[in-house]
Chains A and B, each alone.
Chain A
Amino acid sequence: MDFLSILGNGVRGMFGPEAAIYAIAAIGLNVHFGYTGLLNFGQVAFMLVGAYGVAVSVATFGWSLWVGVLVGLGCAVVLALILGIPTLRLRGDYLAIATIAAGEILRYFYRSAYAEPLTGGVYGLRQFADPFFELNPFPPGRYGIGPIDFDSRSLWVMTVGWILVVLISLLVFLLVRSPWGRVLRAVREDELAARSLGKNVYSFKMQSLVLGGVIGAVGGALLAINVQSVQPDSYNPVTTFYLYAILILGGAGTIFGPIIGSIIFWFIVTFFDAFLRSAVGAGWFGDLIDGADVGAIRFVLVGLGLMLLMAFRPAGILGDPKELRLDVR
């Protein structure tokens, strides 16, 4: 059993394109849930419209990739408005119900035979991101140290991904430290109090929903570009819950929470994936576990990790545990 290569796999997962993409989507969710207290259970829907915005624009309409990205972000704005206008005046639970349903509705719509001429139906669309990879400054080959290495394609997506993570985090940082962010946090604590002080709570919640949704769409667009394909069934509701796991792991309502959370989440997932596979290969578990079970077991371990976290650091890795002890009324 090559422990170094297993660890290498884990480290590769920590910094790989997926970690950056999930970090971006989790930053969007952090704006919703961490700073505004909006229960968005359909962040994957924003990723989906971002991804399909790119794919449909390029593969179906033959527009440029960059126009496609803008179309994806525009779709996220529209989706946020559609979700927000009817629900944001109501109690928080209604947004939760509407968003979780919207995610599934969109997935079924995009995979339906009706939408197939546009979206490719269940087969999705592919090979629409060539202009992105044509800009790749890294010559083909493998880059890295020892067991941690990436091909030039991944390295390019990673570079762009982590730069986006930094830029988006900076934007969110500037916003939440401003009086605007103060109102968001006030809305999270008590909507009525914010309203009694003359704040248009509905408008702030809408701005938050749009901003976080657009950030989610950036993640979705990058996800589509990374694999050069979109398929409706990769945008499951479970993705949203991975994002919540990431956010809670890192610490909701903190700037670095979603980033640290995504790094840890992807380390656990890829490390245990490699570890379990080689352990199964070496016959450690006998007939108890075979290769097909590994995918599920690593998420069991993520769940276990979350449970331990809730027991010992309930505010997340970066959260301030003092906040949880407060008598928040």
Chain B
Amino acid sequence: MQNILERLELQANSFQESFTHLSKSKSLEQLAKSFFQILRGNLLVTDAAVFFKARNDKDWKNLFSKNGCSEECLHYFAEENSFGINTINYSNFEISIILPVFDRGRFGILIGKKLDKTSFSESDRISLQFFLQQLNSAYQFIMSREKEKQLIFSLNHRVLQLNSLIDTGIEVARLREGKQLLELALERVLALTNASRGMLRVKQGRRVVEKLWFPDAIISAPVNNESYTISTSFKFGGKKYTFYLFEKESRRGIIEFDGTDQLLLDAFARQVHVSLENHYLHQQSLEKELIDQEISVAGSIQKKLIPEELPDIEGYELCGINIPTKFIGGDYYDCIPLKDGRFLLVMADVSGKGVAAGLLVSTLHASAHAYVESPFELESLVQRLNEVIFDSATVEKYITAFFALFDPKTGTVESVNAGHNPTYILRKNRTVDELKTGGIPLGMMRMAFPYEGAKTTLGPGDSVLLYTDGVTEAMNAAEEEYDDIRPLKNFLLNNHGVCAGDFIEGLIEDINDFTGDTPQSDDITALYFIRKSS
């Protein structure tokens, strides 16, 4: 009894060791070899040959054969899909076995004669069945381990894809040079989809303006199979960017791309698109900043064209104001002292605002100051200024202007109104005259006939208001204009006798009261002067 127990224990240990040995195998070939070693150790077999067929449509593969085995022995396994142990008499072999495994594969095994030349006993056959069961289990174990490895690899690869998508997004956002950015995106998406090659084509209309390949060495290589290609496109800045990926690699050869590959390619292309847009917007913002700085400087220069202080004229009070809506306004006023003691008063409004308007104001200012250095007639001066502005301005640009040649000693005022709002003269007796005589705005056309002038005299207590349409057309929230609701003439009459400074201050307050929170839509400019009562 003790003897039997010892034998059984020995047998059990042997089975345990054999399974451990089998399951350590790293390949089917190694598994087959280990299986032979176990049979030889336990059953004293001289020879064995192990074949494997993965699926019905696959060929038998010889995993192990101690003394060689020709292909003719495969007929023992033909047409057999179920488990079976058969006695044969073929060459050195005595037993043939078909062992189906869990995944539709099957082993075909030939077992040679025993070393002692005895036949396999019933006990040997039972042991053999145990070892075959262990082979089956070890096969399952190896396959599971392999699948687990593949799963871990696949999960890591997914993490890598996501990580690279994020990293590449950050990296392409940092890159400023377009080609570098495109190359990086192409390399990354190529690696993550296992494409064997990739290309980026940039087209402008029908013309290809750029073509990048990775790897570089395959520039001249033809694409063998169009069905193994994925692509994605986007348009930006008048160009069409198309990414192409060719021939996805696997350990089994070239395979088709899957949905994830297309998603990744689309995502990378979107990142490149966004990055290109961001770079463009950043560049635009830098350029705008530069232009704003230049406009600000130009605005400061232009403000100097308008006199900071008006001349102190004995017997008169003067006050002026200019409130531009942009850095560079289109309104201009001036009071230029002449050598003969007279003054040239100018109130002008360029159509439009901004840099172009500012340039015309500068031209008017420089020309007026230059021409008054020599003796002149007012109508001729305006005629010359018209020609200068006409030559300087584009078709849609012109200047409405009012010019007054004013002699403080006598109070005479010669005027020319070049298409500007009428200038008001508030007489001491509370009547209002309008100075409208003149001609068309400056720069509108090169006229063949002269401007017409008007002449009047200011008596003590009379006052004059020059202004631009920014005053009369100041708008409230209901889109009503100031002059329609609160006629400027009324303001003038209601403020008769008020000093020049208070008059201007009151006028601006009244306009602000009228417009409320509505943003100022045009430059506001006004010049008021009074001949003091003696």
Q: Do A and B bind each other?
A: no
